[in-house]
Amino acid sequence: MYVLMNGSPSRAPWGNLMQPYAWKMPALDKREFLELETFVSWTLEGEFMGRCTECDWKSQIFDKQKKEEKKAVGDLLVTISHCGFSRGWILEGDGSEIKQPDRGKIGSMRNITPCYFDLAPRLFLFRFDSAGTPIHIWDLCGDMLPLIRSTGDIPTRDRAYKKPTGMFFDSPSPDRFFILIQKSGNVFEKMRRLPLSITLASLGIPLTNAASTLLQGGTIISFDEASQTPLILRNHSLLVTDDRIASIFPSSSSRVPPQTTTIDVTGKILSPGFIDTHRHGWQTAFRTIASNTTLSEYAERYGEFSQAQQLFTPSDMYFGQFAGMLESLNAGVTSIVDHAHGTFSRETAGAYFNGTVDSGARVFWCYGIHDLQNGFSVNDQIDDFKQLKNQLVSRGETVTTLGIAYDGFSSSSLDEIQTVMEFARESNISVLTTHYLGGPWISANSPTLLNSFQPSFLNNTPFPIIFSHGSFMTAQDAILLRQTNQYLSTTPESEMHYGHTHPHSFLIQDQASLGIDTHFTYSADMVTQARLWLQSTRLFLFSQVLVQDWEIPQINPMSVNQAFHLITRSGALALRRNDLGVLVEGAKADIVLFDGDSPNMLGWEDPVAAIILHSNVGDVTDVMVDGEWRKREGELVAKEGVIIPFATTSSDQGDGDGDDADGDDDDAESENIMRAVRSGFLDSARRIQGLWAQMAIPDLMGIAPFGVPFGMPRREDVVRGDQDGY
Same domain, 109 and 230: no
Q: List the beta bridge partners of residue 465.
A: 432
Alpha-carbon Rg for the chain in angstroms:
27
Residues 622, 656 share a domain? no
Q: Of 203, 233, 255, which marks where a domain is finished?
A: 203
**157 CA to centre of own chain:** 26
**Residues 163 and 246 grouped into a single domain:** no
Q: In the predicted model, what is the mean pLDDT of residues 93-111?
A: 35
Tell me the DSSP string of 462-518: SS-EEEEE-TT--HHHHHHHHHHT-EEEE-HHHHHHSS---SSGGGGGGGEEE--B-
Overall pTM > 0.75? no
667 and 610 in a common domain? no
Q: Give domain status of residue 23, yes or no.
A: yes
Instruction: Count how many domains the chain has.
Output: 3
- Res. 105: pLDDT tops 80: no
Task: Provide the strand spans (E) within 196-273.
Answer: 212-224, 229-241, 244-250, 260-264, 268-272
Please check whether residue 49 is in contact with residue 88, taking contact to mean a CB–CB distance below 8 angstroms: no
Sheet holding 432-436, edge to edge: 274-279, 333-340, 362-369, 401-406, 432-436, 465-469, 487-490, 512-514
> At 687, is the pLDDT very low, low, confident or very high (cuts 50, 70, 90)?
very high
pLDDT given at position 395: 86
89-93, 230-234, 296-300, 336-340: the lowest-pLDDT one = 89-93
97-100/85-92 β-pairing = antiparallel
Last residue of a domain, one of 576, 602, 631: 631
**pLDDT > 50? residue 24:** no
Average of per-residue pLDDT across 493-521: 97
Average pLDDT over residues 259-287: 97
Helix, strand, coil percentages in the chain from 3-state DSSP, rounded to 5: 30, 20, 45
Say yes or no: 50 and 186 in one domain. yes
CA distance linking residue 637 with residue 90, whole number of Å: 45
- Predicted local distance difference test score (pLDDT) of residue 54: 34
State the Cα–Cα distance between residues 193 and 202, nearest whole angstrom: 12
Would 17 be classed as within a structural domain? yes
Establish if 76 belongs to a structural domain.
yes
DSSP bridge partners of 631: 623, 636
DSSP state of 619: G
Q: Do 87 and 221 fall within a single domain?
A: no
Per-residue model confidence as pLDDT tens digits over 414-446:
999 999 999 999 999 999 999 999 988 877 899
Any domain includes 161: yes
Percent of the chain with pLDDT over 70: 68
> Roughly what angle, to the nearest 10 degrees, separates helices 346-359 and 378-395?
30
160 and 234 within one domain: no
Domain boundary among 203, 220, 245: 203
Query: Are residue 160 and residue 254 in the same domain, yes or no?
Result: no
- Looking at residue 524, what is its pLDDT? 98
- Answer yes or no: is 284 within a domain: no
Q: pLDDT digit string (tens) for 617-627?
A: 999 999 999 99
The pLDDT confidence band at residue 561, using thresholds 50, 70 and 90, is very high
Within this chain, do residues 91 and 215 fall inside the same structural domain, yes or no?
no
Residues 6+ away with beta carbon under 8 Å from 226:
none
In a domain, 231, yes or no: yes
CATH number at residue 252: 2.30.40.10
Does 502 fall in a domain? Answer: no
| End-to-end Cα separation, the chain, in angstroms | 68
**Nearest-angstrom CA–CA distance, 369 and 378:** 6
Are both 108 and 171 inside the same structural domain?
A: yes
The 3 state secondary structure assigned to 293-309 is CCHHHHHHHCCCCCCHH
Is pLDDT of 129 > 90?
A: no
Q: Read off the pLDDT of residues 536-546 as tens digits, 9 standing for 90 and up.
A: 999 999 999 99
pLDDT at residue 606, rounded to an integer: 99
Domain housing 81: 2-203
564-603 residue pLDDT tens = 999 999 999 999 999 999 999 999 999 999 999 999 999 9
- Please indicate, yes or no, whether residues 613 and 657 belong to a single structural domain of this protein: no
Task: Evaluate whether residue 285 is within a structural domain.
Answer: no
Cα separation of 8 and 148, whole Å? 16
Same domain, 52 and 178: yes
Distance CA 48, CA 96 (A): 11
Q: Between helices 414-426 and 378-395, what is the axis angle to 10°? A: 10
The span from the CA of 220 to the CA of 594, in Å, is: 11
User: What pLDDT shows up at residue 649?
Assistant: 55
Label residue 720 by pLDDT band (50, 70, 90). very high
* Predicted pLDDT of residue 138: 37
